[in-house]
A and B are shown apart, each in its own frame.
Chain A
Amino acid sequence: MISAALQRSKFSLNLQPFKRLYSNKQTVPQKTTHDEQIKEHRESGLTTPHPPKDVLTAEVISGAPETLQHRQVRIYKPTKNTMQSGTHNTHHWRVDFDILQGGGRWEHPLMGWSSSADHMQGTNVKFQSKEDAINFCEKQGWDYFVSKPRSPKFKTKQYAANYYHSPGKLRLAQTK
């Protein structure tokens, strides 16, 4: 079992090596020998297999339920709430689980509350950096996806811009 875990190849979408350039040809196999074409394509060397990573994942010894291994986590930097100007909750990287599809939640028939069978729904872990988060997920043996963080672009602003002259017709009638 341990060796199986060692062999486990980690999949991360953004680490996927992309070798093939976009081709103008029809890339979708058109005929019924579909499987063969897919196989042929895989063997053609145009796609690069993902090398397995050599980590002993915690799942092997931690005794965590095996179902956990079938779930994906996402690593992301929470975005700023557009309702407010503060940025407090946006400085860390967060790891949390994708929801359980099908029956993860239901409405309690008596009270109308929402019940859940998902023991990871309230769990999230915070990290200082993306690398820490990735490292943690790899150690746990979780499949992860890293979202690219977005922060506003810097653009200088001047109060004087309110009074700039624009040639030609009037484009902005100030209403303030």
Chain B
Amino acid sequence: MVKLTVDGKEVEVPQGTALIQACELAGATIPRFCYHDRLAIAGNCRMCLVEVERAPKPVASCAMPAMPGSNVFTNSERTNKAREGVMEFLLANHPLDCPICDQGGECDLQDQSMRYGSDRSRFFEVTGKRAVENKDFGPLVKTSMNRCIQCTRCVRFANEVAGVEELGTTGRGNDLEIGTYVQKTLDSELSGNIVDLCPVGALTSKPYAFTARPWELKSTETVDALDAVGSNIRVDSRGHEVMRIQPRVNDDVNEEWISDRTRYACDGLKYQRLTNPLIRVGDRFQSASWPGAIATVADGLSKSGAKGDEIQAIAGSLADTESLVALKDLLNKLGSENTALDTKRGTAPPAHGVDHRSNYLYNNTIPASEEADAVLFVGTNPRHEAAVINSRFRKGYLHNNTDFGVIGDKFDAIYDYEHIGVDAKTVGDFLSGGVKSPFADKFMKAKKPLIVVGSAVTEHDDGQSVYAAIAKHVEANKDRFLTEEWNGFSTLQRAASHTAAYDVGFVPSQQAESTKAKFVYLLNADDFDAQVIPRDAFVVYQGHHGDHGAQFADVVLPGVAYTEKGTTWINTEGRAQLGRAAISAPGASREDWKIIKALSELVGKPLPYEDVIGVRDRLWEISPALTRYDELESPSAASVGLGLAEMAKKGTPVTSTKAFVKPLENFYQTDPISRASVTMANCVKSFVKGVNSEETAVPPAETQAQKHA
């Protein structure tokens, strides 16, 4: 511990603390531009100058370690003078365009110049202020490089966290520029975060440009539902519109980052919405009233003659826990156990079973992912399935010398990995020591090995055997995989609803699997194969977007999207988080569990809860973990062991040479919301198809005309 005095206040900080951190601990705020808690220290803006007794000059507190016995002044005249000087230099080349700058109102430079800025400058260049060409970073990040103050936060983020090594600086001194050297878009799933990091308005959000000011927005703190990470987000809305989505700090989940889908897919909430109940008449839908629509469903149920397991419910990736429970309860009351997911093989009991929670959870918690020595990915592409967790792996790669091996599709990772194979059989071979390679060596000896099993395994025909092979390996190496402080077996879910569905037992029974459904209830289900639904079945679709699933429906019941309801979400670690509604739902749509409750009344099997608190009581009865919000109870090594033992018994040795099929084609469009989003469509154009984003911005007709001219 180091003891020092800051502004007359004594603090004790751990050895190796930066002076800026020490000052903060002492309660003094230090202005800064380049220093950021989660990035390496650069020390190039000089805004954080403080006066240290007996130091000849003011020191940059971020680049200076806290020294024992030093006496620091953060608010002395000398400090302020020094900071004013720095500010004057920064403003010498900064355009005075706050009124038209999107950062206005939440700009560090703006705020700090209120304190340290002078109303006039001593610098007058004949040539005017420095001008820098804007860069094209793609459809998400808008640049206005005149405003850049060269703090290099964006460069450090791209390099360290996002793994985009193309972003860097060129030139020196006054000519220093941020760019990608040769024109190139910023191809990363985390690129939106540089907008947050930029302390000025040089990098701003393109879709949000000129749409709102921060002080007009109402912020609602909630949870993301577009992937299974459960990133903490803040939804900024104005009136009845979601304007933007920002991350919220939670070191246990997403640190301070969110993926681009989480951040930018929110414009999809405005398009293709289902706002009225619809009933199919002939080959078109007709608007109906709620009582009419629900009566039609009840009617359809009795007319279809469906009994027991012939009544099927299929839930999709955006279904919330409350509605899953309500729907399952309703189906159970109707005598059916045919509750399925809309994934491949979702209509069969899952390969990992649901008796042991640890068999389908990310047991090794998100923060601990950084600590692994050797990570084996089986049938997963973490970059697409959980972009935020992927950044943790890069952290481990950089700071912990983690090595990676992949069985499954190759992907463009942000760390080096060894590709071991693509099919199920390789898993068996590798784990039994049949593969000789540097990674295999390291993995077999690693103190903290980690196996991450992706959803491609669950969806693989031979999934059970793959799970069994892995379970056997983990059991045999218990002393390394399952210890007090290390949990080396983890499953990575890719959709927000999957963990919850397994938790509440929203899976079909063995018997139900082979039953042909006569009545199908689709709850936010859009990703199923068309064959899953029998031609003559009566189909109800409940959801918020007119996507794939709604086309099959006889009756459409409009539910609400994740930003419009306060529901429980269980992330891939099994962490329960309570969302919060930011805006009210459009049109006549209703909260999902209420729709099911209403239906239950009409079919004569009323559900025993009246309000949302009642539903949560029910959740708690099913498993207390579902309502233990904000806390994570990771299964202990012993209980993981039990689950694995169960799994190891089931499979046969893996012989299948079928490759794992990646479940997500591209990162940007995975669910009805992101498929309806214009921004995400632009991302697909420029990042997946590689079209220059300047071109995508031009309407096609115009391009045609230009060509002919």
Chain A interface residues (CB < 8 Å from chain B): 11, 13-14, 16, 18, 20, 22, 24-32, 34-35, 38, 41-42, 47, 74, 76, 78-87, 98-107, 113-114, 143, 145, 147-148, 150-162, 166-169, 171-176
Contact = CB atoms under 8 A, between A and B. Distances in A.
B18 A156 contact: yes
Given A14-B629, A85-B199, A98-B580, A147 B221 contact: yes
Given A28-B504, A159-B43, A174-B159, A99 B168 contact: no
17 contacts: A13-B578, A24-B642, A28-B504, A34-B333, A82-B256, A84-B199, A86-B108, A114-B239, A148-B631, A156-B14, A156-B18, A159-B41, A159-B43, A162-B41, A171-B397, A175-B165, A176-B169
A76 B578 CA distance: 12
Contacts, number: 204
Contacts of A157: 17-18, 21, 37, 41
A118 to B, nearest CB: 8
Interface string B627-640: 11111010000000
A156 B16 contact: yes
Contacts of A99: 581-584
Contacts of B333: 32, 34
A132 B676 CA distance: 44
Interface string B316-348: 000000000000110011110100000000000
Nearest to A157: B18
A60 B354 CA distance: 48
Nearest to B357: A22
Given A172-B159, A174-B159, A13 B584 contact: no
Interface residues of B, number: 100
A105 B584 contact: yes
Query: Which of B168, B232, B250, B621 has the most C-beta atoms of chain A within 10 angstroms of its own C-beta?
Result: B621
Contacts of B195: 83
Interface of B: 13-18, 21, 29, 32, 36-37, 40-43, 62-65, 103, 106-108, 111, 152, 155-156, 158-160, 165-169, 195-196, 199, 214, 219, 221, 232, 234, 238-241, 246-252, 256, 328-329, 332-335, 337, 355-357, 397-398, 401, 415-416, 504-505, 565-566, 578, 580-585, 590-591, 608, 613, 616, 618, 620-625, 627-631, 633, 642
Nearest to B40: A162
B240 A79 contact: no
B42 A79 contact: no
A159 B246 contact: no
A80 B249 contact: yes
Contact of A38 (B111, B214, B234, B621): B621
A interface SS class: loop
A159 B585 contact: no
A158 B21 CA distance: 10
Contacts of A105: 239-240, 583-584
B interface SS class: loop
A158 B18 contact: yes
Nearest to A33: B333
Contacts of A107: 239-240
Contact of B37 (A150, A152, A158, A166): A152
A76 B221 contact: yes
B133 to A, nearest CB: 19
Nearest to B196: A82
A20 B623 CA distance: 9
Given A38-B621, A101-B585, A102-B590, A175 B630 contact: no
A147 B621 contact: no
B584 A104 contact: yes
Contacts of B108: 84-86
A156 B106 contact: no
Q: Which 5 A-B pairs have the closest CB atoms?
A: A114-B239, A175-B168, A148-B630, A104-B584, A159-B63
Given A28-B332, A30-B332, A84-B108, A150 B250 contact: yes
Contacts of B625: 22
B240 A158 contact: no
B613 A85 contact: no
B240 A18 contact: no
Nearest to B155: A176
Contact of B41 (A25, A41, A100, A161): A161
Nearest to B560: A101
A14 B598 CA distance: 28
A50 to B, nearest CB: 10
Contacts of B608: 35, 38
A108 to B, nearest CB: 9
A72 B339 CA distance: 32
A29 B337 CA distance: 11
B248 A79 contact: yes
Contacts of A150: 232, 248-252
Contacts of B196: 82-83
A24 B355 contact: yes
A176 B159 contact: yes
Given A22-B625, A83-B246, A176-B159, A153 B234 contact: no
A147 B642 CA distance: 33
B505 A20 contact: no
Contact of A101 (B37, B40, B591): B591
A107 to B, nearest CB: 6
A173 B551 CA distance: 50
Contacts of B585: 101-102
B111 A86 contact: yes
Given A78-B219, A156-B13, 8 more contacts: A83-B196, A86-B29, A86-B111, A102-B590, A107-B240, A154-B21, A176-B155, A176-B168
A18 B625 CA distance: 9
A153 B620 CA distance: 30
B256 to A, nearest CB: 6
A49 to B, nearest CB: 10
Nearest to B617: A47
A87 B580 CA distance: 23
Given A101-B591, A158-B41, A172 B622 contact: no
Contacts of A158: 16, 18, 41, 65
Given A28-B622, A100-B584, A101-B591, A84 B111 contact: yes
A16 B613 CA distance: 12
B165 A152 contact: no
Contacts of A169: 416
Contact of A156 (B17, B630, B642): B17
A71 to B, nearest CB: 11
A7 to B, nearest CB: 17
B47 to A, nearest CB: 10
Contacts of A85: 32, 36, 108, 199
A38 B621 CA distance: 8
Nearest to B308: A32
B367 to A, nearest CB: 9
B581 A101 contact: yes
A82 B247 contact: yes
Given A38-B608, A82-B196, A171 B111 contact: no
Given A114-B239, A152-B251, A11 B621 contact: no
Contacts of A38: 608, 618, 621
Contacts of A87: 29
Contacts of A151: 249
A175 B167 contact: yes
Nearest to B606: A35
Nearest to A83: B106
A159 B60 CA distance: 11
Contacts of B505: 26-28
Given A172-B159, A176-B156, A28 B328 contact: yes
A152 B257 CA distance: 13
A5 to B, nearest CB: 18
A147 B584 CA distance: 21
Contacts of A14: 629-630
A160 B199 CA distance: 24
Given A18-B628, A78-B219, A31 B239 contact: no
